[in-house]
Amino acid sequence: MEIAAERAKADAPSLMTRAEEFARFAEARRERALRLAFRLLAGDQATAEDVVQNAFFRAHRGLAGFRGDASLDTWFYRILVREVQRQRRWQALRSWFAVDPEVAPPAVDPRPVGDPGLRRRISTALARLSAGQREAFVLVHLEQLTISEAAELLGKAVGTVKSHLHRALAALRVELADLRGPTPIGDGPKDGEEHE
């Protein structure tokens, strides 16, 4: 216990020195980092400032793990570029989900018609599916995407989506079996009948 306390006291000055050095490093490179982020983000000043702040935060947090394989500048700018890439991915995702009000479909009535108990049962049954099964079912049956489109959207093979979909439908049939009406004539054997 005493050894750990002594080690912490010995490390405290080196940590303070490192923190002060990093503060000087950050101050000296802030303008260049802003300029780089600004250019990589196609001229979005506010986002560039956020990205640079996040990059400096990540660098400061990871400073203890800096091995010195590259220069501190190279190490930091790699962090900055990764932060820009992360930001662009988020921007792409947000724009993908954003809806242009001029081309937006008509608003859906937020008060669905029907039996609230039935809706609750179906929601519960869907919630019991695995994540992959639920994603496949929702995309194909509720969002009406093709299996190929759903596979591309999920980044999975078509066969995997088909398998998830098959399992989802089987689980839902079991879970909601009591809701099925009588089998139509010619649609297979009825209970107790043999298939010819």
Digit-coded pLDDT (tens) for 103-113 = 555 554 444 56
Q: Name the phi and psi angles at 90, rounded to 5.
A: -65, -40
Both structure tokens of 40: 């990589």
The DSSP letter of residue 92 is: H
* CB neighbour class for 162 (10 Å; exposed up to 12, middle 13-18, buried from 19): middle
- Look over the chain and give the mean of its residue pLDDT values, rounded to a whole number: 76
Sign of the dihedral defined by the CA atoms of residues 131, 132, 138, 143, in that order: positive
Half-sphere exposure of residue 108: CA atoms within 13 angstroms, side-chain side: 4
pLDDT digits (tens, 9 = 90+) for 111-140: 456 778 887 888 788 778 887 887 788 767
pTM given for the model: 0.44
Rg of the chain taking only CA atoms, in angstroms: 28
Number of neighbours of residue 75 by Cβ within 10 angstroms: 17
